Amino acid sequence: MNYEILISEDLEKLRQIGKKQKFVRDEKRIQFLILLKTGEAKTQKEAGRQVGWKLRQSQKIWRMYRECGVAGILEKKDKRGFGKLSSIEISCLNQYLREFGARSLAEIQQYLKETVGVEYTIGGVSDLCLRLKIKLKTARPANYKQDAAAMNAYKKTLVA
């Protein structure tokens, strides 16, 4: 591939863009393009290795450049943070679980779909519960023959 022709920006413009970058990630991406444009690196793999990437990362950045140009590789992706739910939605889920509990992941999935409007797979709900440290609370087994009145009488006569 002739990267000198494929990279439309001239070398000086790329260097200026590289100097303006605050993040190392963006500097590396511009440096990657500079290496290809100048011919110091003949392949994406070589340029990526010089910048500190593996082949797959180099290919990804090159594909992003081909689709969107320099603006595409410098674009900041808006991340919502921690999964699909906001902190308010997580606190509502915790409140719901404290009040009503849930016997299965399917119940939590249904609650999230109805109230929050977010669809999770069962595996996603499982991962969410692990991340939020939500565990199914089961009561200890009790004898079905026990007499509540006799138990209360015993507790009243028990000397502590």
- Position 25 pLDDT exceeds 70: yes
- Position 19 pLDDT exceeds 80: yes
The tens digit of pLDDT for each residue in 66-122 reads: 999 999 899 877 655 557 888 899 999 999 998 888 888 999 999 999 998 989 999
Chain mean pLDDT for the chain: 88
Q: In this predicted structure, what is the pLDDT of residue 148?
A: 87
d(CA 17, CA 74): 10
Write b or e for each residue in 84-122: b if 16 or more Cβ atoms lie within 10 A of its Cβ, otherwise e.
ebeeebbebbeebbeeeebeebeebbebbeeebeeebee
Nearest to 29 by CA among 47, 55, 9: 47
Give the pLDDT mean for 32-44: 93
Q: In this predicted structure, what is the pLDDT of residue 42?
A: 92
Q: In this predicted structure, what is the pLDDT of residue 123?
A: 92
Q: Are 86 and 80 in contact (CB under 8 A)?
A: yes
Q: In this predicted structure, what is the pLDDT of residue 49?
A: 95
The tens digit of pLDDT for each residue in 119-151 reads: 999 999 999 999 888 887 777 888 888 888 988
Q: How far is CA 11 from CA 16, 45, 70, 156, in A?
A: 9, 20, 13, 89
Q: In this predicted structure, what is the pLDDT of residue 100?
A: 87
Q: In this predicted structure, what is the pLDDT of residue 160?
A: 63
